[in-house]
Amino acid sequence: MSQQHLSEQELIRRDKLNELKQLGIDPYPAPLYPVSHYSEDIKAQFTEETKEQFSNVTVAGRIMTLMSRGKVFFIKIQDNKGIIQLYVKRDDICPGEDKSLFDNLVKRLIDLGDFIGVTGSVFITHTGETTVHANTFTLLAKSLKPLPVVKRDEEGNVFDAVTDPEFRYRQRYADLVINPDVKDTFLKRTKIVNTIRDFLNEQGALEVDTPVLQAIPGGAAARPFTTHHNALDIPFYLRIANELYLKRLIVGGFDWVYEFSRNFRNEGMDRTHNPEFTVLEWYTAYKDYFWMMEVTEKLFERLAIAIHGTTDVKVGENIISFKAPFKRISILDSIKENTGIDVSEMDEEQLRATCKQLKIDVKPGLGKGKLIDELFGNTSEHTYVQPTFITDYPVEMSPLTKKHREKAGLVERFELMVNGKEIANAYSELNDPIDQRERFEEQVKLMERGDDEAMYIDHDFLRALEYGMPPTSGIGIGIDRLVMLLTNQPSIQDVLFFPQMRPENNQG
């Protein structure tokens, strides 16, 4: 960044940086600094009875407030766990005649945002604040860019947070520093993932990895990102799903496999869609979608309790109960319940006319399955606030799903709706290779009609099925939407560290 683009504060900080160097103070010293204690641990554990254990502590963090009292500074630093106050006295950190460390570094050349470390003893001030009384002071990293100003009350609670999404999502590193609740969301995200992993591992499931670069973008109806492999001189696709690879492992003899899969879909962006996202998929041999519903209920109950201590979770203005069992209704009955129209016997033209009647715009190339999907999405999906399994989809909507054992024209599939959005999608998996080939061929016809989300034929997957795949049930759960739900966040960008955004115009 050129000097003319720097703010006054940025120029002043660079002058301070140069002065530090001239004084022989390294503004970016070697990284090893032996931190012994963290803010919240000190505040939770320090008492009169335990004070001997805190007579020699080393803490480090980013300066969030600076308050001068002449030869004394009160400094609050933020570390990995929270904020703690430091008491920095001139005569304590400069016990001899030379007071230059305090006069130059502490009084003049440190700023909000700098990283410092101190050693000292813990005490409680007359106002009742747990504080580290410093006897050494070390600059660990000079901050050249001021953080946005955040207003806090006397207890340090934020009451005027920085909320501009353009700033928050683009400069997440600064957002995490100045908005404490943001960090809590991501800590909960990790806890959600770990809870799921524990749940599956306890039941004998095996975590695996499958390819991100794929020759065929299979396993879902979506538009892929395309790239090129130079050595092989062939196109590759970033995966839109990992389903077909996990099923290959079921063919290979594993009974229960799962993967937290980073997927990529070259589609629109909104409050619930990001082109790069995380999905959990698992596949279990000798099970069906009825079994999968029961296991899914148990998992969601456990997640709610792990994050909130109860099965009742506040999401927006709603209290959502994750207490099993969840409601179940077929997709066709759902459309009828919400529109009064029975679409179960309609052909493609009748479905298109119904969409027109309900003022739902649909693309000309959509087949019967996509038209029913549009009808459900526009008339019914948003009505399911409490967890609800939408079941028994038309075969045209589900090219990888086993035909229903009792209901002609339908498949054994469910989607879990919560708070008006799909959170999970599951099947009794299609394991008939002849039927699967025919379904893929139907997808090719849809692609030829202009459906750019129709599936490709994966000939290797068909070959795997021909070796034989046992009866299997599988599920995909959108981790980002799940985290949104369990942390009460309104946008997918709030649960991704670095959501995709347009490049900045002023890269400098």
327-330/213-214 β-pairing: unpaired
Nearest to 484 by CA among 280, 273, 312: 273
| C-alpha distance from residue 482 to each of 57, 193, 222, 295, 411 (Å) | 40, 10, 20, 16, 25
- What token pair was written down for 342? 């029975």
Helical ranges in 163-317 per DSSP H: 165-170, 172-178, 180-202, 243-251, 289-308
Q: What is the phi/psi pair of residue 473, to 5°?
A: -120, 140
Classify strands 83-89 and 72-78 as parallel, antiparallel or unpaired.
antiparallel
d(CA 165, CA 474): 36
Phi, psi of 271 (to 5 degrees): -70, -15
DSSP run (H or E) holding 357: helix 348-357
Distance, in Å, from the CA atom of 437 to the CA atom of 464, rounded to the nearest integer, reads 12
Strands annotated E in 50-208: 57-68, 72-78, 83-89, 115-124, 130-141, 151-152, 158-160, 206-207
The SS3 call for residue 44 is helix
CB 479 within 8 A of CB 192: yes
Long-range Cβ contact pairs of 163-168 (< 8 A, separation 24 or more): 165/491, 165/493
Dist CA 369 CA 426 (whole Å): 17
Q: Which of 44, 43, 83 is nearest to 60 (CA)?
A: 83
Of 1, 472, 428, nearest in space to 254 by CA: 472
Shortest CA distance to 208 belongs to which of 294, 155, 283? 283
Amino acid at 443: Q
- Is 415 assigned to a binding site? yes
Q: How far is CA 72 from the centre of its chain?
A: 43
Reading the block at residue 229, the tokens are 């492999």
Binding-site annotation, residues for Mg(2+): 415, 422
Binding-site annotation, residues: 415, 422
